[in-house]
Amino acid sequence: MIKMVATDIDGTILNWGDGFSPAVIECIHKLSQQDIKVVLVTGRMHSSAMHVANELGLKTPIISYQGGLIKDFEGNTLYQQNLNSNYAKKIIKWAGVNNIHINLYIDDKLYVQEDNDIIKYYVNGKHIDYTVCSFDELKVENVNKILAIDLSDAQKVTSWVEELQNRYPDLYIVKSTPYFCEIGSAEAKKSLGVEFLCKLWGLKKEEVLTIGDQNNDIDLIQAGGIGVAMGNGTPELKECADFITDTVQNDGFVKAIEKFVTIPQEL
């Protein structure tokens, strides 16, 4: 019996720019009414994910920054794995040398060095504030993660991932969209966040359904007893899934829940 649903946000329950479908909202409400824990597991900042939780009426802890931070609904930190400051400084230098746009997250605040179209696209509709400044002015500590972005060349982003994985094997480096390269602590993984909450709540792996759409969700879906890939998911993710559902546009999340989770019809 499924007692916890751990879900990615963007591309899974939310189609970028379209908002939540009524079916997704109703499905999540029904799960919550049945005391099935619905947990958001996202690469987003905690502050951004909180807006999603509020919109969906969720009061469960949020796993943000790819698993690097878990806070409960009251804002208490349950788990945190920051990016080592020395590594962060090296990544910042690498980006500067190669003229790469990066988002730098420190203490759940977003910093960029240029107010350009990339950051405007990134924050659109996400309830995110950001500060434009020289990174030389910042104390590079308590770094949640770094996000390198190129909105025009997915292959270039893939090459960044491969380069940085080879250079820094001790870090967790992965694509979260075709155009986003995520850089964080090796302990900042979605799967580790799910495992932490399972231990906290005394849940078994087989009691958890996990669902996502991108390569950063591979370890997420492997952390559940039932791992579901969205129909709009990457080929790599689908290869690892127990089940492939419909797309986010066609409420694939809802269809997966209807297949694997028992909810009384009268709710």
CA 46 to chain CA centroid, Å, is 10
Note whether 4-80+188-260 and 85-185 share their fold. Answer: no
Rg (CA), the chain: 18
What's the gap between Cα 266 and its chain centre?
33
Rounded to two decimals, the pTM is 0.94
pLDDT digits (tens, 9 = 90+) for 141-182: 999 999 999 999 999 999 999 999 999 999 999 999 999 999
Domain 85-185 CATH assignment equals 3.40.50.1000: no
Could you tell me the fold of the domain covering 4-80+188-260?
Rossmann fold (3.40.50)
Where are the domains positioned within the chain? 4-80+188-260, 85-185
**Mean pLDDT for all residues in the chain:** 95
pLDDT, one tens digit per residue, over 117-147 is 999 999 987 889 999 999 999 999 999 999 9
Q: Tens digit of pLDDT per residue, the chain (267 long)? A: 999 999 999 999 999 777 899 999 999 999 999 999 999 999 999 999 999 999 999 999 999 999 999 999 999 999 999 999 999 999 999 999 999 999 999 999 999 999 999 999 999 878 899 999 999 999 999 999 999 999 999 999 999 999 999 999 999 999 999 999 999 999 999 999 999 999 999 999 999 999 999 999 999 999 999 999 999 999 999 999 999 999 999 999 999 999 999 766 554
List of residues 6+ apart from 178 with CB closer than 8 A:
154, 157
Per-residue model confidence (pLDDT) at position 197? 98
